[in-house]
Structure 1
C-alpha cells in the first residue's frame, strides 16, 4: 500500500481510475467476482415458536405495577410501625413475636407476589400475567396504613 499524504482527501486526483466506476455493468461484474455463491444451508425445523418481545406499552405497565408494589411495601412498613405503636399504647404490652413475624411477611409479600407473578407466567400470554399482577394489587392493599394512617389516629 502506498503512503498517502494527509491532504489526499481534498484533491480530485485518481478519480479517473476505472476500478472506481459505479456503472451497473461494473457493479454486476464486481459482485460476481468478489462474492462467491454461498452453499445453501438447510434450515433446521423448529418445534417451538419463539416468543415475541414485549412491547413498549407492556414494559411501561410493568414499571407502573412495579411502582405500585413498591408503594404497597412502603405502606406495609409504615402501617406495621404505626399499628405496633398503637397496640403497645392501648394494651401496655410489647407486641409479641407472632405479630412481628406476620408483619415481616406482610412487608415482603408485595415483592414476592410481583416476582412470582412475573416468573410464574413467563411462558403464558401477557393478559394472564397482568391478571395475576392486578389480583396482587387488590389482595395486598396495606390495610394497617389505610386504617391507621400515617398519623396513627
Structure 2
C-alpha cells in the first residue's frame, strides 16, 4: 500500500507549484535557494498601527503610525471605518421602514376616501398635489433621515425616525378608515 501525497484526501491539482510557497522576500522556498535568499536584501513592508509582524524577517517590517484623530462636533473621536450596524439595529430599521411604507399606503387610501368631500374646499389640482405630497412624505422622511444621520450615532437616527412615526400618522385613514363611516 502506498501512502504518498497522491493518497491525501485534500490534494488539489497544482499543489506542487513552487510559486505557491513564497517567503517574505517573494522567492520560492526551496532548500537549494535558501542560501540565495540570505544574501538578498529584505523588502521593507509597512503594517498599519496595531498589527505586529511575526516570523522570519519580521524585524524588517515597519509599523506606520495611525492618522491623527480629531473629535467631531458631538465630542466623539472619528473612527476611520464605521462599525456596521448590529442585528438589532437592522431589524429595528426594517420594522420602522415597514411602518413608513404602511403610512404611505394609509395616506393614499385615506386621501382618496376624502377626495369627494374636499372638492368644495380646494381645486382638484391642488388636492391631487397635496395628496401625492402626503403619500410621499413618509418615504421622503425615512430617506432623508437615513441619509442625513449617516455619520451620526445610531440613537440619533432612531430618534428622528421615531419622531417621523409620530408626526406623519395618516390622520385621514385613522379618522375615516378604509371603508369610511
The offset of 1:44, in angstroms, is: 4.2
The residue aligned with 1:127 is 155
The residue aligned with 2:16 is none
The residue aligned with 1:14 is 4
Cα distance in structure 2, aligned partners of 1:70 and 1:54: 22
Q: Is it true that 1:140 corresponds to 2:168 in the alignment?
A: yes
Give the match's secondary structure for 1:57.
helix
Cα distance in structure 2, aligned partners of 1:14 and 1:74: 69
Unaligned runs of 5+ in 2: 6-22, 30-54, 70-77
Cα distance in structure 1, aligned partners of 2:125 and 2:174: 23
- Counting helix residues as a fraction of each chain, which structure ranks higher? 1
User: Cα 1:85–1:41, aligned 2, differ >3 Å: closer, same or farther?
Assistant: farther
Range 43-52 or range 118-127, more displaced:
43-52
Give the match's secondary structure for 2:134.
helix
The offset of 1:53, in angstroms, is: 1.1
Cα distance in structure 1, aligned partners of 2:93 and 2:154: 11
Q: Deviations over 1:83-117 (max 9, x none)?
A: 103335xx5x9852222111111000000000011
User: Cα 1:70–1:82, aligned 2, differ >3 Å: closer, same or farther?
Assistant: same
Q: RMSD value over aligned CA atoms?
A: 2.6
Cα distance in structure 2, aligned partners of 1:104 and 1:117: 20
User: Cα 1:13–1:52, aligned 2, differ >3 Å: closer, same or farther?
Assistant: closer
TM-score after normalising by structure 1: 0.71
TM-score after normalising by structure 2: 0.61
Cα distance in structure 2, aligned partners of 1:95 and 1:78: 19
Q: Could you say which structure has the greater relative contact order, defined with CA pairs below 8 angstroms and 6 or more residues apart? A: 1
The residue aligned with 1:37 is 57
The offset of 1:141, in angstroms, is: 0.4
Q: Within 5 Å, give how 1:84-103 maps onto structure 2.
A: 84-88=115-119, 91=120, 95-103=123-131
The residue aligned with 1:60 is 91
Unaligned runs of 5+ in 1: 1-10, 16-30
